[in-house]
A and B are shown apart, each in its own frame.
Chain A
Amino acid sequence: MDFEPNEEQRAIRLAVETLLTQHAGPARAIELERDGGYDHALAAALTEADFLGASLSQETGFLEAALVVEAVAKAGGVVSAAAETLVAPAVVGRSLDGPVAIGSLGEEVPIRFGGHAHTLLVDAGEEVQVVTVEPGWREPVRSNFMTPLGRIRVPEGAGDSLGDGSGATLRRWWRLAIALECLGALEGALDVTVEYVKRRRQFGRAIGSFQAIQHRLAQCAVQVEATRWLCYEAAADGAPEEASAIAAAYATDTAHHVFRETHQLTGAMGYTREHDLHVYSMRLEALRVELGGTAAHRRAITQSRWAS
């Protein structure tokens, strides 16, 4: 048991954060959002540094890959890092052509990166299908949720199956990926809100000095810290079924709680395009409805632990 990052983990975190400072950040996310864009420049920089794709998890491990996914989300990066750096290496065993989207068979719903994906991982129940997406199959969807969305219509028979049993593996890693992306966005949302209430003055004092506000943010902090350790432990253990479902259930529940609280506490300012909160908060809402949402993750915990 050791909760401090080791030297290699610290180095990876520092390197990816340095790169993200140059290429990502809320301002970049806001700029890209205007035309629903994908950050190809960031993707190229991350690939160049081996932070996107399978090599990080293959050479170091999945916990290190998880730290990168968290950092990208915390920087508001508009790239499919979770799918490319964590899920694909674990489920397919190799790098896939990005952007990579993940969806469920038979659900033609808007999915994240669906308007840009070159590769689609399809949860087909028992098995996973890896689909190389033709441009004509993609249909971008306009959305306010600060993450590019699109529908993909996969023709019958397209895609390669990874075989029976791969579906469950995909769902484990997908849940962990959702939890990690929540974690990064949660940290971002909480940080900008804490900064806001320290600066914003009303009644002659910083509103962050009011206990009514302090308690709400402290409660958010408790849940964000819990999300952190649930994610890291699940990643270190290779996304066990129960632990991944727990991470996703807890993270998405926290996502919604933090969405409400941070918007309440930043007042009208938090809804504006000039404040960074929406980059994180709106994504949190998108994440919390993915793969059946909090309710489905919770049921998955019970099915994994107690159903026999």
Chain B
Amino acid sequence: MEFSWPDDDARFRQALRDFLDETLPEDWEEISRHGPGSDAQASFSRDFCARLADRGWLTQSWPAAYGGADATPWRHAILSEEMWRCGEPRGSQYMNVNWIGPTIMKYGSEAQKREHLPRISRGDVLWCQGFSEPEAGSDLVSLRTLALRDGDDYVVNGSKIWTSYVNGAEWCFLLVRTDPESTRHKGITVLLAPMDAPGVEVREVPAVVGERYFHELFFRDARFPASTRLGPEGEGWSVVSYALAYERVGAMRYARAGLTLDALAAAAAERGRLDDPALQEKLGAARAAVEASRLLSYRVIDLRARGSEPTADTNIARVAGTMCENAVSDLALELFGPDGLEYGTFAESYFRLAMTAGVAVGTTEINLNLIASRFLDLPRE
């Protein structure tokens, strides 16, 4: 066991921080407060990711064969930490790099790789994710959006919901059912669907968590060429399982929580409240939750770095991540009191960002189910 960073990783982190200092505009904090789905952040991310790509950092973790630099999972974790620390200026493009690109590398045709990977690695394309449906949330395999083969096309009918990052998205990583007689895991297929196809309609679901945060996607006889299919027909569940294993700890959200907590402590000190023993206890508890989340996320990176198959450690890290975000955001509102209720203030922005932690990317309950069966080996019914 070894818990310190090698010098070259430490230098990389410093170079990244210097780059962020130079690159992020003065009003970045203002832009970031409207949430990752906002117009401002969506357009900002294209410019920012292109610059990150120029430095060779955007897809450094990808294999050299796909334009990456074969950087270690640890390098990728450092990148993610530093991005989250300052409010994820990559916007939705972290998804492209973390799991959409790698899943295309594993399952994509040569044509799909040629079409998508260079754009992702240049940082000038936005994707969204079409997974959940009104009747298929945690029980994702009950999805019903139907894609029927008609000549060289799939004709898609159905709807997706809770889709984020639709703003400006050109492509959707779309889960459909290609066999209408199938149930559960069988008969599911992944399509790399162009969002500008006729028959695709987007509607925002207004929500308290931020501008353009949730959307509903409607597909009415939308036609997608069969060449948009990722992996074999009916084998989409394997594809999505692969993607999800990458997705769940791709985002080092504790880094944002940690920085927010430091700012809360500074605010408490300004208000002369840092001597209050009750507040000291709450700050200390939140700090411990941040560190717990950091180390459990590192454990997942460590397993990935040694080439292990995904384990329940991923789910453990997710649950700890939610505990961390809840602890910090509870404290944010408590510390600022009624001032923190005003939209766009520091406390409110973090509270809003963090409030979906236990639901996003799989609910806490689903993670606990998986920990029970895979980590504790508890019997199924």
Q: Which residues of A contact B (CB under 8 A)?
A: 1-6, 9, 63, 194, 197-198, 205-206, 208-209, 211, 213-215, 217-219, 221-223, 225-227, 229-230, 232-233, 236-237, 242-243, 245-246, 249-250, 253, 295, 297-303, 305-307
For A218, give its contact among B74, B281, B375, B381 (CB under 8 Å): B375
In the complex, what residues of A have CB within 8 A of residue B288's CB?
230, 246, 249-250, 253, 298, 301
1/0 per residue, CB under 8 A from A, across B131-169: the answer is 000000000000000000000000000000000000000
CB distance A1 to B376 under 8 Å?
Answer: no
In the complex, what residues of B have CB within 8 A of residue A198's CB?
377-379
CB distance A298 to B285 under 8 Å?
Answer: yes
Complex Cα spacing A300 to B287, Å: 11
Q: Which residues of B contact A (CB under 8 A)?
A: 1-6, 9, 74, 262, 265-266, 268-269, 274, 277, 279-285, 287-289, 291-293, 295-296, 298-299, 301-303, 305-306, 313, 316, 319-320, 323, 365, 367-369, 371-373, 375-381
CB distance A5 to B1 under 8 Å?
Answer: yes
Q: Could you jot down 29 A-B contacts, CB within 8 Å? A: A1-B4, A1-B302, A2-B302, A3-B298, A3-B299, A4-B302, A63-B1, A198-B379, A211-B369, A215-B368, A218-B367, A218-B371, A218-B372, A219-B319, A221-B376, A222-B296, A225-B313, A226-B296, A229-B292, A230-B295, A236-B2, A246-B284, A246-B288, A249-B288, A250-B289, A298-B285, A298-B288, A306-B266, A307-B274
Q: Which residue of A lies closest to B294 (CB)?
A: A229
Complex Cα spacing A89 to B15, Å: 39
In the complex, what residues of A have CB within 8 A of residue B281's CB?
295, 298-299, 302
In the complex, what residues of B have CB within 8 A of residue A229's CB?
292, 295-296, 298-299
CB distance A209 to B381 under 8 Å?
Answer: yes
Instruction: Say whether, besides A299-B280, A301-B288, A303-B280, A214 and B296 are in contact (CB < 8 Å).
Output: no
For B295, give its contact among A217, A221, A233 (CB under 8 Å): A233
CB distance A233 to B3 under 8 Å?
Answer: yes
Complex Cα spacing A1 to B78, Å: 12
CB distance B379 to A209 under 8 Å?
Answer: yes
For A205, give its contact among B5, B372, B375, B381 (CB under 8 Å): B381
The smallest beta-carbon distance between A273 and chain B, in angstroms, is 26
Complex Cα spacing A219 to B365, Å: 10
Complex Cα spacing A164 to B380, Å: 58
Complex Cα spacing A153 to B67, Å: 71
Q: Which residue of B lies closest to A210 (CB)?
A: B381
Known pairs A5-B1, A6-B1, A299-B277 / 4 extra A-B pairs, C-beta < 8 Å: A205-B381, A208-B378, A218-B368, A236-B1
The smallest beta-carbon distance between B118 and chain A, in angstroms, is 31
CB distance B376 to A217 under 8 Å?
Answer: yes
A to B contact number (C-beta, < 8 Å): 162
In the complex, what residues of B have CB within 8 A of residue A6's CB?
1
Instruction: Say whether, besides A226-B296, A249-B284, A209 and B380 are in contact (CB < 8 Å).
Output: yes
CB distance A306 to B265 under 8 Å?
Answer: yes
The smallest beta-carbon distance between A262 and chain B, in angstroms, is 13
In the complex, what residues of A have CB within 8 A of residue B381's CB?
205, 209
In the complex, what residues of A have CB within 8 A of residue B9's CB?
1
Complex Cα spacing A226 to B316, Å: 9
In the complex, what residues of A have CB within 8 A of residue B262's CB?
306
Identify whether the interface residues of A are mostly helix, strand, loop, or mixed: helix
CB distance A245 to B302 under 8 Å?
Answer: no
Complex Cα spacing A70 to B313, Å: 21
CB distance B284 to A297 under 8 Å?
Answer: yes
Instruction: Say whether, besides A4-B302, A221-B375, A245 and B284 are in contact (CB < 8 Å).
Output: yes
In the complex, what residues of B have CB within 8 A of residue A243's CB?
291
CB distance B1 to A232 under 8 Å?
Answer: yes
Of the candidates A1, A215, A229, the one having the most CB atoms from chain B within 10 angstroms of its own CB is A1
Q: Which residue of A lies closest to B77 (CB)?
A: A1
Q: Which residue of A lies closest to B319 (CB)?
A: A222
CB distance A215 to B316 under 8 Å?
Answer: no
CB distance A215 to B280 under 8 Å?
Answer: no
In the complex, what residues of B have CB within 8 A of residue A1's CB?
2-6, 9, 74, 298, 301-302, 305
The smallest beta-carbon distance between A16 and chain B, in angstroms, is 16
Instruction: Say whether, besides A229-B295, A305-B265, A2 and B1 are in contact (CB < 8 Å).
Output: yes
CB distance B292 to A226 under 8 Å?
Answer: yes
In the complex, what residues of A have CB within 8 A of residue B293's CB?
226
Complex Cα spacing A238 to B1, Å: 14
Complex Cα spacing A5 to B281, Å: 33
In the complex, what residues of B have CB within 8 A of residue A253's CB?
285, 288
CB distance B372 to A217 under 8 Å?
Answer: yes
CB distance B1 to A4 under 8 Å?
Answer: yes
CB distance B274 to A306 under 8 Å?
Answer: yes
Instruction: Say whether, besides A4-B306, A245-B284, A301-B283, A206 and B3 are in contact (CB < 8 Å).
Output: no
Complex Cα spacing A300 to B381, Å: 45
The smallest beta-carbon distance between B321 and chain A, in angstroms, is 10
CB distance B284 to A9 under 8 Å?
Answer: no
CB distance A215 to B274 under 8 Å?
Answer: no
CB distance B320 to A306 under 8 Å?
Answer: no
Q: Which residue of B lies closest to A193 (CB)?
A: B376
Complex Cα spacing A249 to B190, Å: 46
In the complex, what residues of A have CB within 8 A of residue B376's CB?
194, 214, 217-218, 221
Complex Cα spacing A223 to B323, Å: 10
For B274, give its contact among A2, A218, A302 (CB under 8 Å): A302
Of the candidates B6, B319, B367, the one having the most CB atoms from chain A within 10 angstroms of its own CB is B319
CB distance A246 to B287 under 8 Å?
Answer: yes
In the complex, what residues of B have CB within 8 A of residue A209's CB?
378-381
For A214, give its contact among B280, B305, B378 (CB under 8 Å): B378
Q: Which residue of B lies closest to A243 (CB)?
A: B291
The smallest beta-carbon distance between A94 and chain B, in angstroms, is 26
The smallest beta-carbon distance between B256 and chain A, in angstroms, is 17
In the complex, what residues of A have CB within 8 A of residue B285's CB?
249, 253, 298
Q: Which residue of B lies closest to A251 (CB)?
A: B288
Q: Which residue of B lies closest to A300 (CB)?
A: B284
CB distance A225 to B302 under 8 Å?
Answer: no
The smallest beta-carbon distance between B201 and chain A, in angstroms, is 37
